[in-house]
A and B are shown apart, each in its own frame.
Chain A
Amino acid sequence: MKDFNYHSAKDSKEASKLASSSSAFLAGGMTTIPSMKLGLATYKDLIDIKNIKKLSGIKVSGKSVTIGAATKHVEVSNSKDVKKAIPSLSSLAEGIGDPQVRNRGTIGGSIANNDPSADYPSACIALNATIHTNERKIEAAKFFKGMFETALKKGELIEAIEFQIPEKSSYQKHPNPASRYAIVGVYVAKHKGDVNVAVTGAKSCVYNDKEMSKALSGNFSSSSIDGMDLDSSEMNTDMHASAEFRASLVVTQAKKAVDAC
């Protein structure tokens, strides 16, 4: 790993001020540090945001759950408030990586990185999340732009993620057996009025499957999507799963999620 300057910011303002074209924010460091060790990324400055108190913590209101960006996965999975308000979000956090990752990795880091196989982006889409940054509020549907690409501007810092509490929801993941990232993860959330079927792992970026959402909005039963033949042409193929297998898994995991609701 190349040498870099380490900064510990005391608030968002300072963090944002320190940011430059050769800097990165450091939260859990679960992606940033390995990338630097492997020489895939080099930064002159790392700006640690873990010590910014305002960025950690979980607040639940009648309609939403708001999680600070530097809140660790283990805190989300252990939170009684999250378990009560959105149990599927708690169990999603419990299934990320391994105990070491869950004890360091943060929700903000996961979302800002937007790995196509990460779990949290699907929760954001399914639960109509609002991403609060130090500059603005961004709807989840407009936040995830493409593979490792988000609406964040340079120096813009996620402060919190606000999830809408659904009537029912479930996240079902078919994990990559090696990395435990999602080969396919499907987050089904039934809100008043409509159903979201957010899919991660299958394509280059998380998305809401319109076809399944529509079918389930009409009839919230796994039978309404059973046997659905999804277009696999845009789906990922790698040594762990072909596009054809992923297309089938999206339906299977969606069915499981509906059944688990």
Chain B
Amino acid sequence: MASLVGSRVERKEDKRFLTGKGRYTADINLANQTYAIFVRSPHARASIKKINIDKALKSSGVVSILTGKEIADDKIGGLIAGWAIRSEDGTEMKCPGNPPLAKDNVNFVGDPVAVVIAESLAEAKDAAEKVEVDYKVLKAVTSTADAMNGDTIHEGIDKNLCFDWLLGDRQKVKEAFDKADKVISIDIINNRLIPNAMEPRACVADYNAASEEITLYTTSQNPHLSRLIMSAFGNVAPEHKLRVVAPDVGGGFGSKINVYNEDIVCSWAAKKINRAIKWVAERSESFLTDIHGRDHVTHAELAVTKDGKFLGFKNETIANLGAYARVFGTVTPTYLFGPCATGVYEIPAAYTNVKAVYTNTAPVDAYRGAGRPEATYTIERLVEKASMELGIDKTELRIKNFPTAFPFKQTLVHTVDSGDYVAGMEKAKQMADYKGFEARRKESEAKGKLRGIGVTSYFEACGIAPSAAVMSLGCGVGLWESAEVRFNPTGQVTVYTGSHSHGQSHQTTFAQIAADELGVPIENIDIVHGDTDKGTFGMGTYGSRSLAVGGIAIVNACKKIVEKGKRVTAKMLEANPEDVEFKDGEFIVSKSNKKKTIGEVAFACYLPGVRDEMKSPLPEGDEPGLKETSFYDPSNFSFPAGTHIAEVEIDPETGHVKLEKYTACDDFGRIINPMVVEGQVHGGLAQGIGQALYENAEYDETGQLMTGSYMDYTMPRADNFPEFNIGYTCTHATTNPLGVKGCGEAGAIAAPPTVMNAVIDALGGQEVTMPATAEKVWKACKNLKKSNAKAA
């Protein structure tokens, strides 16, 4: 039987998605359900003086109106930060309360203050307009850079500072800088983004008065984790009385990791009114209230020798948390950011200092790449600038500072098990025709255009992550993953995974893995996820962890099945278990022609007897049935890496940046399904290029979101991109049995600095901030023209 791992198996999920038969949360309608509309703050910062619901209650079809007072009276808990971060001075981070419905204060536009539940959506909307909230509007704090100087948003949190965190050694860095021939420094902004999953958030909550169980259908990347948080912190219901189902989910990108206000409010209210409640976000609510991403202001410095060896690295960053600290809000700008900020280089001394600040904007949390795009942007913009200032070719300078051996003990935290960065660079250069660039630049010049080339070499730490490691760094949970492999008596297999697919193709890739491990045809394998009443507790999908953690749990569970199969076969065929080999779905007694198929073994395990004989196929100590579980805790993060190269052409008259070529050469370890990986790379690149050239979430000084619709928030479109030139190098991860590393975030991590390095190269080294919009580039072109004229 040919191995399915490594082949372009067509996606099992495509049929239902492409024929409109996916079942998303908004497709779920329950008998006698009601509809919820949230009354949200129109102000970025205000205290609530009074809420009058009298008129609204009289509105047609209203079932109930609930406010922050009722939720507080019922002792329903608020939303939480999942990682505890300690400041450099040893103090714990400072987090404000975040009730699901604001009672006394609102802290961003969109903060919910009440929920209106009615018989129809139209009636709920009408009534919501009649809820009168009397606000005392306060001065908003919206700027990341100036947040520490603004009014105090949350009582008791001075300077709006959640923590002031340090990773690394300031003294060592100072010594390294003292020895430097040259110091390269940059000031950069990592622009704020809105995740924009295709499916808006939604939830349907149902209460069963007989079993006293709440069922919540919701758009989540991690239903078990949601249940845990809602139960342990939200006090909504004990875990055994709370079922969370995340059915088909149309994209998450990190924005659906969090438990949101609406999940808690609808679950609590469904029990209170003893009716099902449905809520579906409108797109404008998604813009305002989904978590946002990035939003860093950074000053960084690189100490170098004149021949281009890196000696030291400094990174001073202010990270915007938005109004509240949420699940991954505090780890994203710290442990997911700092360790990766020294990039793929041997730098003897480094530190990263992050001041995380509150502002009156939507909460900022993990968005595709989470911390690693910000880290890569910092180091790769710095290295590119160093190459310009030192006059050393940008690829040579990088190679000069790559690690020479693996495992590579990276400066701050990680030990990278495997990789070959030089091979990746050489292949990327060849794919991109790096040598031919100068000729292409001249061609552009002849047309009156400016052409630039940009390079990024990145690594990232994903497959999060060893429980002991992350819990030692403040994580509230362990980041293992579970799998359960169940044979049916007639030979089909159901695999329950704690990972969650919201576009990642688990139904296909996980089935490929199980098919290879068990020798069962892929069509006889079903992957089940997303329901806390099915399968074992799981930690969910984010941080490119599904395959490198969840996939390995499946492998391990399958291996346990095979081990039991060997014992059963030995008993049935009267052989020694050690003499039974398993290959392509058959248990074979070595040096004999005696064998059993895995289907026969499964059948025997469930029907362990024969007529007229007192005989069991089960060895002593083995129970009937064929079902195994694995909880896999990885021994390390995984470390994808690669080199990307972009070429842009700029029209100096209009400032239009055309991305002419984009080459991505990535090392993801072993690839399970190349087609799926290409899809992940394409999606990541689209988001990364989107950050560099198009996307930007902008608030005005009063805290109103200026980019609250697709009329103003620029989502990239297919015609913004060239045909992507994608290739791979492959060094297997040594820390897991499949040798896999993870591919979901690479594009979003590498693309922003790659594209910006090309833009800035075309502009003769002039800095522009992301996104490099036409007007910014046009201004830079005018400056370039002026300075060229002066020089001439």
Q: Decide if A and B are genuine partners.
A: yes
Q: Does A3 contact B (CB under 8 A)?
A: yes
A142 to B723 alpha-carbon distance, docked (Å) = 47
Known: A248-B778, A249-B654. A239 touches B714 (CB 8 A): no
Q: Does B715 contact A (CB under 8 A)?
A: yes
Query: Quick one: CB contact mask for B641-663 with A, threshold 8 Å, 1 for yes?
Result: 00000000000011110000000
Known: A239-B706, A242-B775. A174 touches B654 (CB 8 A): yes
Query: Binding site of B, secondary structure by majority: helix, strand, loop or mixed?
Result: loop
Contact B778 A178 (CB under 8 A): no
In the bound complex, residues from chain B placing their C-beta under 8 Å from that of A242 are 775
A3 to B775 alpha-carbon distance, docked (Å) = 43
Q: Which of B654, B698, B710, B778 has the most CB of A within 10 A?
A: B654
Contact B707 A239 (CB under 8 A): yes
Q: Which of B284, B694, B714, B715 has the most CB of A within 10 A?
A: B714
Contact A3 B122 (CB under 8 A): yes
Contact A177 B707 (CB under 8 A): no
Docked complex: A123-182 residues within 8 A CB-CB of B: 174, 176-179, 181
Query: Quick one: CB contact mask for B582-624 with A, threshold 8 Å, 1 for yes?
Result: 0000000000000000000000000000000000000000000
A53 to chain B, nearest CB (A): 33
Query: Quick one: CB contact mask for B764-775 with A, threshold 8 Å, 1 for yes?
Result: 000000000111
In the bound complex, residues from chain A placing their C-beta under 8 Å from that of B654 are 174, 249, 252-253
Contact B698 A178 (CB under 8 A): no
Q: Which of A176, A177, A183, A242 has the most CB of B within 10 A?
A: A177
Query: Quick one: CB contact mask for B702-735 with A, threshold 8 Å, 1 for yes?
Result: 0000110011111101000000000000000000
Contact A178 B715 (CB under 8 A): yes
Docked complex: B675-716 residues within 8 A CB-CB of A: 694, 698, 706-707, 710-715
Contact B712 A179 (CB under 8 A): yes
Contact B122 A240 (CB under 8 A): no
Contact A178 B775 (CB under 8 A): no
Contact B773 A240 (CB under 8 A): yes
In the bound complex, residues from chain B placing their C-beta under 8 Å from that of A241 are 774-775
Q: Across the interface, name the chain A residue whose C-beta is closest to B712.
A: A178
Contact B775 A177 (CB under 8 A): no
Query: Quick one: CB contact mask for A232-261 with B, threshold 8 Å, 1 for yes?
Result: 000000011110010011001100000000
A98 to B714 alpha-carbon distance, docked (Å) = 14
Q: Across the interface, name the chain B residue whose C-beta is closest to A1.
A: B122
Contact A178 B653 (CB under 8 A): no
A9 to B698 alpha-carbon distance, docked (Å) = 44
In the bound complex, residues from chain B placing their C-beta under 8 Å from that of A245 are 655, 774-775, 778
In the bound complex, residues from chain A placing their C-beta under 8 Å from that of B713 are 178
A215 to B467 alpha-carbon distance, docked (Å) = 73
Size of B's binding interface in residues, CB under 8 A: 21
Query: Quick one: CB contact mask for B71-107 with A, threshold 8 Å, 1 for yes?
Result: 0000000000000000000000000000000000000
A240 to B122 alpha-carbon distance, docked (Å) = 35
In the bound complex, residues from chain B placing their C-beta under 8 Å from that of A176 are 711
The one of A174, A179, A183, A253 in contact with B710, judged by C-beta atoms closer than 8 angstroms, is A179
Q: Across the interface, name the chain B residue whose C-beta is closest to A178.
A: B714
A38 to B285 alpha-carbon distance, docked (Å) = 12
Q: Across the interface, name the chain B residue whose C-beta is closest to A251.
A: B653
Contact A252 B653 (CB under 8 A): yes
Q: Across the interface, name the chain A residue whose C-beta is closest to B651.
A: A252
A209 to chain B, nearest CB (A): 17
Contact A177 B710 (CB under 8 A): no
Q: Across the interface, name the chain A residue whose C-beta is closest to B715.
A: A178
Contact A174 B712 (CB under 8 A): no
Contact B712 A240 (CB under 8 A): yes
Q: Across the interface, name the chain B residue whose C-beta is closest to A177.
A: B714
Contact B778 A177 (CB under 8 A): no
A79 to chain B, nearest CB (A): 23
Interface size, A (range): 10 to 19
Query: Binding site of A, secondary structure by majority: helix, strand, loop or mixed?
Result: loop
In the bound complex, residues from chain B placing their C-beta under 8 Å from that of A248 are 653, 778
Contact B711 A174 (CB under 8 A): no
A3 to B122 alpha-carbon distance, docked (Å) = 9
In the bound complex, residues from chain A placing their C-beta under 8 Å from that of B774 are 174, 177, 183, 241, 245
Q: Which of B712, B715, B775 has the most CB of A within 10 A?
A: B775
In the bound complex, residues from chain A placing their C-beta under 8 Å from that of B122 are 3
In the bound complex, residues from chain A placing their C-beta under 8 Å from that of B712 are 178-179, 239-240
Q: Across the interface, name the chain A residue whose C-beta is closest to B716.
A: A177
Contact A178 B710 (CB under 8 A): yes
In the bound complex, residues from chain B placing their C-beta under 8 Å from that of A38 are 284
Docked complex: A81-107 residues within 8 A CB-CB of B: 98
Docked complex: B745-792 residues within 8 A CB-CB of A: 773-775, 778
Query: Quick one: CB contact mask for A172-202 with B, threshold 8 Å, 1 for yes?
Result: 0010111101010000000000000000000
In the bound complex, residues from chain A placing their C-beta under 8 Å from that of B715 are 178
A252 to B774 alpha-carbon distance, docked (Å) = 13
B681 to chain A, nearest CB (A): 23
In the bound complex, residues from chain A placing their C-beta under 8 Å from that of B655 are 245
A177 to B778 alpha-carbon distance, docked (Å) = 15
The one of B653, B698, B706, B773 in contact with A177, judged by C-beta atoms closer than 8 angstroms, is B773
Known: A240-B773, A241-B774, A248-B778. A178 touches B706 (CB 8 A): no
A160 to B775 alpha-carbon distance, docked (Å) = 38
Contact B711 A177 (CB under 8 A): no
In the bound complex, residues from chain B placing their C-beta under 8 Å from that of A3 are 122
A183 to B714 alpha-carbon distance, docked (Å) = 14
Docked complex: A205-247 residues within 8 A CB-CB of B: 239-242, 245
A179 to B656 alpha-carbon distance, docked (Å) = 16
A183 to B711 alpha-carbon distance, docked (Å) = 12
The one of B284, B656, B711 in contact with A178, judged by C-beta atoms closer than 8 angstroms, is B711
A33 to B715 alpha-carbon distance, docked (Å) = 22
Q: Across the interface, name the chain A residue whose C-beta is closest to B779.
A: A245
Q: Across the interface, name the chain A residue whose C-beta is closest to B706.
A: A239
B198 to chain A, nearest CB (A): 15
Q: Across the interface, name the chain B residue whose C-beta is closest to A255.
A: B653
The one of A98, A179, A249, A252 in contact with B711, judged by C-beta atoms closer than 8 angstroms, is A179
A3 to B773 alpha-carbon distance, docked (Å) = 41
A178 to B654 alpha-carbon distance, docked (Å) = 17
B51 to chain A, nearest CB (A): 21
Q: Across the interface, name the chain B residue whose C-beta is closest to A37.
A: B282
In the bound complex, residues from chain A placing their C-beta under 8 Å from that of B711 are 176, 178-179, 181
In the bound complex, residues from chain A placing their C-beta under 8 Å from that of B775 are 240-242, 245
A109 to B773 alpha-carbon distance, docked (Å) = 31
A245 to B698 alpha-carbon distance, docked (Å) = 20
Q: Which of B284, B710, B773 has the most CB of A within 10 A?
A: B773
Q: Across the interface, name the chain A residue whose C-beta is closest to B713.
A: A178
A218 to chain B, nearest CB (A): 23
A248 to B654 alpha-carbon distance, docked (Å) = 8
A53 to B379 alpha-carbon distance, docked (Å) = 63
Q: Across the interface, name the chain A residue whose C-beta is closest to B782.
A: A248
Q: Across the interface, name the chain A residue whose C-beta is closest to B771.
A: A177
A41 to B515 alpha-carbon distance, docked (Å) = 57
A242 to B653 alpha-carbon distance, docked (Å) = 15
A201 to B654 alpha-carbon distance, docked (Å) = 15
Q: Across the interface, name the chain A residue whose C-beta is closest to B711.
A: A179
B300 to chain A, nearest CB (A): 28
A195 to B727 alpha-carbon distance, docked (Å) = 52
A248 to B779 alpha-carbon distance, docked (Å) = 11
Q: Across the interface, name the chain B residue whose C-beta is closest to A172.
A: B654
A38 to B284 alpha-carbon distance, docked (Å) = 9
Q: Across the interface, name the chain B residue whose C-beta is closest to A252.
A: B653
A181 to B712 alpha-carbon distance, docked (Å) = 11
B772 to chain A, nearest CB (A): 11
Return the 10 tightest CB-CB contacts between A and B, nearest first: A178-B714, A179-B711, A177-B714, A245-B775, A252-B653, A178-B712, A241-B775, A252-B654, A239-B706, A177-B694
List 15 A-B residue pairs with CB atoms under 8 Å apart, sorted by A's residue number.
A177-B714, A177-B773, A178-B714, A181-B711, A239-B706, A239-B707, A239-B712, A240-B712, A240-B773, A241-B775, A242-B775, A245-B655, A245-B775, A248-B653, A252-B654
Given A177-B773, A245-B655, A253-B654, 9 extra CB contacts under 8 A: A98-B717, A177-B774, A178-B714, A183-B774, A239-B706, A239-B707, A239-B712, A245-B774, A245-B778
